[in-house]
């Protein structure tokens, strides 16, 4: 699955804490190799790999070093399922390329390529799981290039019985709406009906032959332009949701930890943290929740260079740190005490536009909705290229409405703007520059819908540079 992330330190920590429990994976269409992400569970990984090519499953089994990971060559029953109708496949550039190069006509619009060696036996997925001796399964991955939806529906009733936490499946974003089509809309409805929610979705685009696009891989495949055609979807249990309270109460400590690990593996450290916070009292006898939260917080700050821990991160968020709106720099580099007063803006001497009037903070705009009134240019010579500026202005509108915002260099748009109207009372407006040099000035303008002039009083409360 292209949305499965590399192994994370958090998942390794969960794997170390799972004993005597297992993380159990069923991989349908396991050709190639078992993704390295699952190896993060270490010796607590238990897996069943299924593929129609028995030579491939034999090869994988011979290479496998974990005795709890087994492979089986078998064709999995799909039941009643059809390819999506209204497929654009014959009109896609990839189809034209295959025809021009005498390649096999893959998937829609022609016969599917046959596996080099197909397993002799055919078996249902529930039967394969039972014969492997698996009474619980944590995650099921399906990617068989065709009858995925049919295989999925054979698990009706089994997903709850096996206490499955998540399902990953390849999906098609095409179709005419038929109930048996192997399409995203059918899979989505069916899985939601089984109590799962969509937590991530990738989109693979394919350009039309009328205007081919550059491919994203080394061979003709998905392109950088084109309509959504296929992708991968991951569905997981949401045990923190109120409607799942009864299910969460029955979940074991191991299941809670494994669900958090799945969130982490699919790039959702926030969802994993919610599990740890909500079920902290239950988890702490088996797992160091504080350390786990720190690991997840580091995931959330990937690329920052100097990630802070969970407590500091949450304190910064509660303090409205600009980091959360601007991706300015790492939190550690911007302690609250590190901001410096900035005088790059002279609030006493604005540039007035049109008929606007200003005196000691009292502003009367000119007529006309959206008309510029008072402008406070930034002295950019006082600002370094990587500086970030926070402005806090108290605004009280006596009549009409005004907007206060940061004007972009094109002078026709704002990086951020807040409207205040009469009756709101004294209002603190906080503006955060994307980078100080990326805006030219602070602007107040008339927001009154009637176009009449507006009256307001403005006071600069804070001008801080980070």
Chain segment 167-179, per-residue pLDDT in tens: 999 999 999 888 8
Nearest to 155 by CA among 132, 172, 171, 137: 137
Q: How far apart are CA 83 and CA 428, in angstroms?
A: 57
**Average pLDDT of the residues in 92-114:** 65
Q: How far apart are CA 129 and CA 136, in angstroms?
A: 9
Q: Answer whether 106's CB lies under 8 Å from 133's CB.
A: no
Query: Could you tell me the pLDDT band of residue 434, with boundaries at 50, 70 and 90?
Result: low
Q: What is the pLDDT of residue 186?
A: 94
Query: What class, spelled out in words, does domain 351-465 have in CATH?
Result: mainly beta
* Residue 327 burial (C-beta neighbours within 10 Å; 0-12, 13-18, 19+): exposed
Neighbours of 69 (CB within 10 A): 20
Query: Could you tell me the pLDDT band of residue 106, with boundaries at 50, 70 and 90?
Result: very low
Q: Answer whether 182's CB lies under 8 Å from 150's CB.
A: yes
Token readout for 462 is 């804070």
Q: How far apart are CA 332 and CA 330, in angstroms?
A: 5
Q: Answer whether 90's CB lies under 8 Å from 105's CB.
A: no
Q: How far apart are CA 295 and CA 70, in angstroms?
A: 31
Which of 141-150, 277-286, 387-396 ranks highest by mean pLDDT?
277-286
Q: How far apart are CA 232 and CA 181, in angstroms?
A: 17
Q: Answer whether 411's CB lies under 8 Å from 402's CB.
A: no
Query: Could you tell me the pLDDT band of residue 218, with boundaries at 50, 70 and 90?
Result: confident
The predicted-structure confidence for 305-340, as pLDDT tens digits, reads as follows 678 899 989 988 887 777 787 655 566 555 555 667
| Domain ranges for the chain | 9-300, 310-338, 351-465
**Average pLDDT of the residues in 11-36:** 94
How many whole angstroms from its chain centre is CA 380? Answer: 36
Task: Note if the bond before 20 is cis, omega within 30 degrees.
Answer: yes
In order of 278, 419, 428, the CA distances from 395 in angstroms are 39, 10, 6
């Amino acid at each position: 699955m292209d949305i499965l992330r590399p192994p994370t330190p958090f998942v390794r920590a969960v794997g170390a804490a799972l004993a005597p429990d297992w993380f159990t994976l069923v991989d349908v269409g396991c050709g190639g190799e078992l993704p390295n992400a699952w190896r993060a569970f270490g010796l607590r990984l238990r897996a069943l790999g299924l593929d129609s090519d028995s030579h491939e499953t034999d090869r994988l089994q011979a290479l496998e070093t974990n005795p709890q990971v087994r492979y089986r060559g078998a064709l999995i029953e799909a039941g009643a399922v059809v390819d999506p109708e209204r497929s654009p496949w014959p009109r896609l550039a990839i189809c034209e390329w295959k025809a021009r190069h005498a390649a096999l006509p893959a998937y829609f619009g022609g016969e599917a390529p046959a596996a080099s060696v197909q397993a002799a036996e055919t078996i249902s997925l529930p039967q394969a799981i039972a014969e492997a001796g698996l009474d619980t399964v944590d995650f099921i991955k399906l990617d068989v290039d065709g009858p995925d939806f049919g295989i999925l529906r054979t698990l009706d009733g089994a997903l709850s019985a096996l206490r499955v936490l998540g399902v990953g499946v390849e999906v098609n974003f095409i179709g005419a709406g038929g109930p048996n089509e192997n399409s995203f809309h059918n899979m989505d409805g069916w899985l939601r009906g089984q109590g799962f929610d969509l937590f991530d979705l990738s989109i693979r685009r394919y350009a039309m032959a009328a205007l081919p696009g550059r491919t994203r891989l080394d061979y003709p495949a998905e392109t950088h332009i084109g309509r959504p055609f296929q992708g991968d979807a991951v569905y997981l249990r949401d045990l923190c949701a109120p409607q799942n309270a009864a299910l969460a109460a029955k979940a074991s400590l191991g299941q809670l930890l494994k669900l958090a690990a799945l969130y982490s593996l699919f790039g959702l450290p926030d969802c994993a943290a919610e599990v740890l916070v909500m079920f902290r009292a239950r988890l702490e006898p088996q797992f160091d929740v504080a350390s786990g939260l720190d690991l997840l917080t580091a995931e959330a700050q990937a690329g920052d260079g100097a990630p802070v821990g969970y407590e500091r991160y949450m304190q910064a968020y509660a303090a409205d740190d600009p980091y959360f709106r601007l991706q300015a720099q790492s939190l550690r580099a911007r302690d609250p005490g590190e901001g410096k007063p900035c005088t790059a803006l002279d609030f006493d001497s604005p540039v007035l536009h049109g008929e606007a009037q200003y005196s000691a903070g009292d502003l009367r705009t000119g007529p006309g909705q959206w008309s510029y009134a008072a402008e406070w240019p930034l002295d950019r010579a006082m600002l370094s290229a990587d500086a970030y500026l926070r402005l806090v202005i108290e605004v009280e509108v006596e009549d009409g409405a005004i907007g206060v915002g940061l004007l972009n260099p094109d002078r026709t748009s704002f990086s951020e703007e807040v409207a205040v109207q009469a009756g709101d009372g004294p209002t603190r407006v906080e503006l955060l520059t994307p980078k100080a040099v990326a805006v030219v000035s602070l602007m107040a303008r008339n927001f009154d819908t009637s176009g009449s002039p507006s009256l307001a009083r403005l006071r600069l409360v804070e001008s801080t540079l980070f």
